[in-house]
Amino acid sequence: MSRRIVPVSTLVNYLKKVMDENPVLHGVMIEGEISNIRMPYSGHWYFSLKDDHATLKCVMFSSANQKLGFKPENGDKVVLKGDVSVYVVDGSMQMIATNMERSGIGQLYQQFELLKKKLSDEGLFDVRYKKPLPAYPMDIALVTGNNTAAREDALITLKKRWPIAKLTEYPAPVQGMDAAPKIITALQTADDGNHQVIMLVRGGGSIEDLWCFNDEALARYIFQMKTPIVTGIGHEIDFTLVDFVSDYRANTPTGAVEATVPDIQEVLATLQNSRSRLMNAMRNTFMHAKKRFVYNASQPVLAKPERLYRDYITHLDYLAEKLMRFQELPKDKRHELNDKFHRFSQLVRERSTALHESIQEDKQRLLMYAKQSVQSNKNLLIQYQSQMKHALSITADDRRTKLEKNMSLLNAYSPLLILNRGYSVTYKNNKVVNTTDILEIGDEINIRLADGTVGAIVQTKEVSHANKG
């Protein structure tokens, strides 16, 4: 007995009719956890209701959801009442909900909150454990999935903002039951690689897609890593446990790169500004030191140090003359005065010598300080110039590579390459001949070859009927 063949729409409409007419499927009450909820401008709600073993598509039209006193979110556990039917367009079974009541927090969300509280109570989220990010990282590690949009976004942003850094990739699955252990393995390898910073990124998805980033073992490993780590998981509204234990949480993969590296154009501008300010500061310091040196060198105490003790010598001569007038003093008194005179003279000479040496030492220290200051500022200027030349060289190489690529494309599409392969172009009266209809026997024509042009006269004419057809 043969069966009648029917179109898909006939079968789907028949199933819809059977379900719509079945009273058991009217006013059904089911309990489950909401996921993938969407609330477009139309006001209708589209979501899935699931438990540990099955998932059911649901829709709640605005006329019904406006009566509710709350707005559900992903992870909420609710009780729905409605009719089960078939959505003809894609042939899927769905529930048209007419009422919704809360049934406690969803299982996944409840697990997340309990584990979050546990780790927070242990201090894993404390700010004092956050490691500072390097200002100008030159060695970066990237942990993400292979051939993902998040990876492409991160690479494009990194090349645009900080192309001079070295990037090492450690691919790992970022979704699924076995993803968390493999992410830990990738992070362990990256942490042992002596990188300056590690980026862990993944694009957006449902709470189930991102659940591997709520793994307790993964969160604990990230907390004890020695290398600073930046996470960019999902979108701005998505939060996972690894975001709380990481050293910096960005809202997207692109945001993670922007938080990790500076903008090279801004750095170059800062270097140029710093160079100008350094040159001005060095110039001012040098001029000030020069003025001080000239001023000190012009002082009498440095030009003629003997002026400091000249008055003492004059006074000493005066006393010597005065003593000579007292030769009539008793011999013992003269010896006593002579002894005092010699001691006084010796003291004056010692003081003047020490003062002279001190002045010379101060003069040498001043000169040494001026030379060291100039040399130090000169070395710093050379260092900044070297860094600027390196950054400008990287930028020039990148632009040169793009120019060579564009020139290669232009050469690839050049018509002259076609002529080099043995083809030619025929002209009549300086116009290209692309059909035999415009040629007559005896016409003068020019034929362009790869290395020049030859003249010819049409002697025969044969039409290809295959091309005409």
Amino acid 333: pLDDT = 65
Residues with Cβ within 8 Å of residue 420, at least 6 apart in sequence:
450
Summarised one tens digit per residue, pLDDT across range 359-410 is 788 778 877 877 787 787 777 778 877 877 777 788 778 788 888 887 777 7
Amino acid 240: pLDDT = 93
Helix (H, G, I), strand (E, B) or coil at 455: strand
Amino acid sitting at position 333: K
| Distance separating alpha carbons of residues 180 and 190, to the nearest angstrom | 15
| Distance separating alpha carbons of residues 58 and 262, to the nearest angstrom | 46
Domains recognised in the chain with CATH numbers: 8-103 (2.40.50.140), 122-262 (3.40.50.280), 420-458 (no CATH)
Helix (H, G, I), strand (E, B) or coil at 318: helix
Q: Please compute, for residue 247, the number of CA atoms within 13 A of its CA located in the half-sphere on the CB side.
A: 20
Amino acid 358: pLDDT = 79
Residues of the chain with pLDDT under 50: 469
Amino acid sitting at position 185: T
DSSP letter, residue 176:
S
> Are 348 and 319 within 8 A, CB to CB?
no
Amino acid 154: pLDDT = 96
Mean confidence (pLDDT) of the chain: 86
